[in-house]
Structure 1
Amino acid sequence: MILRTFGWSFAFTAIGLLAALYFWGWEAFAVVAILSVLEISLSFDNAVVNAGVLKRMNEFWQRIFLTVGILIAVFGMRLVFPVVIVSLTASVGPIEAVELAVDDPDRYSEMVTDAHPSIAAFGGMFLLMIFLNFVFEEREIVWLRWLERPLARLGKIDAFSVGVALAALLLTATTVASQAYQHGGHHSDESETVLLSGLAGLLTYLIVGGLSGYFENRLEEDEERLAEAEEAAARAGKQPSAVGLAGRAAFFLFLYLEVLDASFSFDGVIGAFAITNEIFWMALGLGIGALYVRSLTIYLVRQGTLDDYRYLEHGAHYAIGALAVMLLISIRWHLPEVVTGLVGVGLIGAAFWSSVRQNRLDAASGEPGAEKPTVSV
């Protein structure tokens, strides 16, 4: 089961890591490995959400999700999108950006360093909104009770997460961005750039979230119509067209999954800029991680174990929040790549261990059918 589900992911991991080691050395090997783990940790909640939708699709559409969908996820979001970001922020064409990355990496690095304030502001605000909307939402399962319960009560205020994000952006633009780090150790006032880029990141999040909600609503409406059609056919003693109805439902499911996956993968791409500016290292690491996320989605569907590790979603969102803060800080101060990479992994590890401990307590209670007590930190 493991080899069947994760076989392609294992193979691509070996090829990607060996290629990084052969072409760029041990530093690239380490960065690609960290990016792979980071992408998996950031996108674990994506796999959980995807699995909840994918389990309603037949085997054919599951294959479409793993083939056509993976092409969009790996080559579109993980390879093309970073080049587009560099192209827009550095005011060069996409082809020129790739040529610079290959032929003149020093010049490319200078351009990316000088464009980092706008990249960090854009990505930091996008990531911050993901984190804030998670912690300000009331949930049955809580991990850090002392923190999540009060924040959930604050989240009942309309648009509170947007207000907090805007306050964080204003603080960053007026303090951190006034001495933004530039190539050669120089500093310059990038307050206006950071403010505009941060607003663009916030707007992008709201648009992507709106699209995801749109497809989700369309999916719910379609499922309601299907249920009504089946009931009418049953009353009339007729058999509804399973192929046609399943095809329409699966198509909307697929569209919803692609928009949802793009919104989740965006934070991984942006977060990668906190670790490296090398687009090929980024593409390899994020591509490996994306394959594992797809394989993990299928595994969760086939095993039916979505709720086994209940705090992993919390850990993933705390990792996103930490990356958002570090991106905003990095506008002025350089943060070591190892630190930014391992913070997220550490938070995921802590959430995983809390989940395992809770599962042991549940098993010791001996009441699998009853509501189990939740131990929060």
Structure 2
Amino acid sequence: MIDPTQKKPVFVYLRSAIIFTVVGLALGLALGWQSTGTISGAMTIFFICTVLAVLEISLSFDNAIVNANKLKEMSAVWQRRFLTWGIIIAVFGMRIVFPLLIVVIAANVGPIDAVIMAALQPDEYARIMHEAHLPIAAFGGTFLMMVALTFFFDHEKDIHWVEWLEHRMAKYATIKGVEIAFVLALALAFSRLLDGPERDVFVYSAIYGLLTFLLVEVLGGFLDKSQEATKAAAQGGLGAFLYLEVLDASFSFDGVIGAFALTQNLFVIAIGLGIGAMYVRSMTIMLVERGTLAEYRFLEHGAFYAILILSVIMYCQTLFHIPEVITGLGGAALIGVSLWSSIRWNRNENA
């Protein structure tokens, strides 16, 4: 199991991510040279990979914090599995397979045809991805909103950052289904701003996002509860593992779709976002081992506020475009403020 008492230097945690960055950017250079045959073309692809990696890291601060919060409750076996299998699913599943799957379903073509389209018809591939943005934003926004509200609507929650708001949310948490009602009401309100078929697509996608969250919660509780009745130690943590994988997928929606604003090359997107995913893994391990969440009491609150804002932004993006840079900087700013509030609170307590 990850030992929170072992505080290694920051570089040690980031070492594998740095190695992956060097390899990934080298592949980006090679891809740029192979596709353009010029130094300027190779440097352009190198620059795009770098920007995508930075964008993914800025969007994933809150993801790493939530991962760390869930990971510390998992058994040692499932901690290791999440940090190995999980990163493979995150890098290859969500950054490569997921965009291909969207094209397979939307264009009604085979997987091989989708790969050929990504390689030889990047503009058409990007068009299909952008057309799929509405249901993806509705699904991912609803799922992430439920993640955030479940944290705040908790009657056992006794640490509040924004006292006047969080105290009331914890108080009303005793009303069953209050967060579900809130999300459904907001989804219906947003759907009224859309016309015709888009309205139906938004509502159905939002409902599927809500059902997915509830099913993961129920399945996770059932699987982890079964550990108490059996001696199958490997069973413990499967529910949390599934929850984290779906959560990572929801975080990835925005980054994958937004990446097509910079390039239509699927392989460049996979390199850039894959680098970012490796840093999320490294930051998750660092947060758990160094006990950062316990040391900075409001850091987790900032992450969940960032998730809540991200979910609303995903809803808004069904109406108009919001640059991903704003999304990433907004989430990082909230986490930064929560970190500063935690440091100030620690100083006051020590004084």
Indicate the residue corresponding to 1:163 in structure 2: 181
1:314-347 Cα shifts (integer Å, max 9, x gaps):
1111111111111111112111222122211211
8 Å Cα contact 2:154/2:170 also seen in 1? yes
Residue 8 of structure 1: CA displacement?
1.0
Q: 2-side partners of 1:207 and 1:357: how far apart?
A: 39
Task: Report Cα offsets for 1:107-153 as digits up to 9, x if no partner.
Answer: 12211222221221111111221122222223111111121111222
Q: 1:13 aligns with which of 9, 16, 21?
A: 21
Distance across 1 between alignment mates of 2:284 and 2:183: 31
Structure 1 counterpart of 2:35: none
* 3-state SS of paired residue (1:158): coil
Aligned amino acid, residue 262 of structure 1:
E
Structure 2: distance between partners of 1:168 and 1:62: 35
SS at match of 2:132: helix
Residue in structure 1 matched with residue 235 of structure 2 by the alignment: 252
Which amino acid is 2:113 matched to? E
Identity over aligned pairs, percent: 38
Partner of 1:136: 153
Question: Who is 2:117 aligned against?
Answer: 100
Distance between the aligned counterparts of 2:113 and 2:192, measured in 1?
33
Going from structure 1 to structure 2, the CA distance change for 1:106 and 1:197 (only over 3 Å counts) comes to same
* Whole-angstrom CA distance in 2 between matches of 1:170 and 1:115: 20
Q: TM-score, normalization: structure 1?
A: 0.76
Query: Aligned-pair distance for 1:16?
Result: 3.0
Q: Which residue of 1 aligns with 2:60?
A: 39
Counterpart CA distance in 2 for 1:119 and 1:99 is: 23
Q: Quote the Cα distance in structure 1 between the aligned partners of 2:217 and 2:325.
A: 31
- Choose 201-210 or 263-272, whichever is displaced more: 263-272
Does the 8 A contact of 2:140 with 2:251 survive in 1? no
* 1:48-91 CA distance string (max 9 Å, x none): 3202325xx27xx7655533443234323443234324433454
Partner of 1:152: 170
Assess, with a 3 A threshold, how the Cα gap between structure 1 residues 189 and 157 changes in structure 2: closer, same or farther: same
Q: Distance in 2 between matches of 1:51 and 1:167?
A: 34
Match of 1:126 in 2: 143
Q: Measure the CA separation in 2 of the matches of 1:170 and 1:320.
A: 20
Distance 2:347 2:29 in 1: 40
Distance 2:236 2:90 in 1: 16
Contact 2:130 2:257 in 1 (8 A): no
Find the counterpart in structure 2 of residue 310 from structure 1.
Answer: 297
| 1:140 aligned counterpart, secondary structure | coil
Quick check: 1:111 aligned with 2:128? yes
Equivalents in 1 of 2:225, 2:144: separation in Å?
24
1:1-377 maps to which residues of 2 (within 5 A)? 1-2=8-9, 3-17=11-25, 19-20=27-28, 23=32, 24-54=45-75, 57=76, 63-138=80-155, 139-175=157-193, 177-178=194-195, 189-219=197-227, 221-222=228-229, 248-249=232-233, 251-273=234-256, 275-277=258-260, 279-280=266-267, 282-364=269-351
Counterparts in 2 of 1:348 and 1:90: CA distance versus 1, 3 Å: farther
Change in 2 beyond 3 A, CA 1:21/1:208: farther
Provide closer, same or farther for how the CA distance between residues 210 and 94 of structure 1 changes in structure 2, counting only shifts above 3 A: farther
Given that 2:20 and 2:275 are in contact with CA atoms closer than 8 Å, whether structure 1 keeps it comes out as yes
Residue 43 of structure 1 aligns to a residue whose secondary structure is helix
- CA contact 1:42–1:319 (8 Å) conserved in 2: no
TM-score by length of 2: 0.81
Contact 1:89/1:115, CA 8 A, preserved across alignment: yes
Mark the structure with the bigger radius of gyration: 1
Distance 1:190 1:68, change over 3 A: closer
Give SS of 1:113's match. Answer: helix
Deviation of 1:46 after TM superposition, in Å, equals 1.0
With over 3 angstroms needed to count, the CA separation of the structure-2 counterparts of 1:355 and 1:194, relative to structure 1, is same
* Alpha-carbon RMSD: 2.7
The alpha carbon displacement at 1:218 in A equals 2.3
SS of corresponding position for 1:216: helix
Residues 287-331 of structure 1, C-alpha deviation per residue, up to 9 Å, x if partnerless?
334433433444455444540122222111111111111111111
Q: 1:117 to 1:270 in 2, by over 3 A?
A: same
- The 2-side partners of 1:122 and 1:301 are apart by 29
Q: 1:26 to 1:113 in 2, by over 3 A?
A: same
Gaps of 5+ in 2: 1-7, 33-44
